[in-house]
Amino acid sequence: MTHRRRRSALYMPASNARAIAKARTLDCDVVILDLEDAVAPEEKIAARDRVVAAVREGGFGARELVVRINGLDTAWYADDIAAVRGIGVDAVLVPKLSYPAELAAVRGSLGDDGPPVWAMIETCAAILSLPALSEAASSARLTALVAGTNDLAKEMRCRLGADRTPLIPALASIVMAARAAGIVALDGVCNALDDQARFEAECAQGAMLGFDGKTLIHPSQIEAANSGFGPSEDELAWARAIVAAFAMPDTADKGAIRLDGQMVERLHLAEAEAMLRL
């Protein structure tokens, strides 16, 4: 997996030209131009044309640029794939991708030289298929799993509170499947736009579970996501201390060392180096 920050992945409605233009100025790590949920059926074709024009125009800087297409079972899927296949996006996000056969079908539609696939994990079937999806990730160029918490909660018929307790097993499973495949894991959106404390709590929970970042529905959520999924100053200081300790002549060849009263192994060194690269 490449070392790239994905703390904040902002959905922007592809039907809104002003939103697309604004995305070029925001401090998010990932821009997801959305052709699915954010676009009404009668606007799908125009939105697709707008996405193609916007991607070709560029101007998104270092932000990772992803397009969420419509699902495999929709009338717009084939044309969406054809439109985004060769325009230079960083990835194609596929909603409700639940089975390895669907992943293979997407890869076939994109072609071997098409962009990587990001998969929305938002059905019960997808949760049960995570081991198989993880195993197929390399051959299908699947590079991210994105939790679709709204649809997953709806399908589970769970009573979802601020603590998201019913979803914790599924969220942890998404992270484990991503880590097994060496790919990215992004937490689902928070709908509570006017509840900053709840959003920050979800970021803290997602980071605790191991997610790389969070998908967002409004620019006002970017700063908190960047902070919540970025290392703190204390964590950075500890990472620097680990790297410096293993660089000493008398510890450079050791598998484990004692540092400030703690046992530190080379796996901690690798984590520290990755944190500092980000």
- Measured CA distances, 133 to 96, 110, 241, 258 (Å): 13, 17, 38, 39
Rounded to whole angstroms, how far apart are CA atoms 131 and 199? 29
Tokens of 88: 């230079």
Q: What is the pLDDT of residue 253?
A: 84
pLDDT band at 2 (very low <50, low <70, confident <90, very high): low
Q: Which of 16-20, 91-95, 231-235 is predicted least confidently? A: 231-235
Rounded to whole angstroms, how far apart are CA atoms 51 and 56? 8
Whether 1 has a pLDDT exceeding 50, the answer reads no
* Domain covering 8-229 assigned CATH 3.40.50.2020 in the classification: no
- Whether the Cβ atoms of residue 102 and residue 121 lie closer than 8 Å to each other: no
Burial class of residue 268 (count of CB atoms within 10 Å of its CB; 0-12, 13-18, 19+): buried
Task: State the Cα torsion 168-185-72-57 to the nearest 10°.
Answer: 140
Condensed to tens digits (0 to 9), the pLDDT of residues 140-179 reads 999 999 999 999 999 999 999 999 999 999 999 999 999 9
pLDDT band at 135 (very low <50, low <70, confident <90, very high): very high
Tell me which range, 100-104, 234-238, 272-276, is most confidently predicted by mean pLDDT: 100-104
Helix, strand, coil share of the chain (percent; to 5): 50, 15, 35
113 labelled as ligand-binding? no
151 labelled as ligand-binding? yes
Q: Name residue, tokens 């790297």.
A: 243
Q: What is the pLDDT of residue 249?
A: 86
Q: How is the chain split into domains, by residue range? A: 8-229, 233-277
Q: What is the mean pLDDT of the chain?
A: 94
122 labelled as ligand-binding? yes
Tokens of 141: 């160029």
DSSP 169: H
Strand 184-187 versus strand 117-121 pairing type: unpaired
Q: Name residue, tokens 């193609």.
A: 52
Condensed to tens digits (0 to 9), the pLDDT of residues 198-241 reads 999 999 999 999 999 999 999 999 999 999 998 877 788 878 98
Q: What is the pLDDT of residue 278?
A: 72
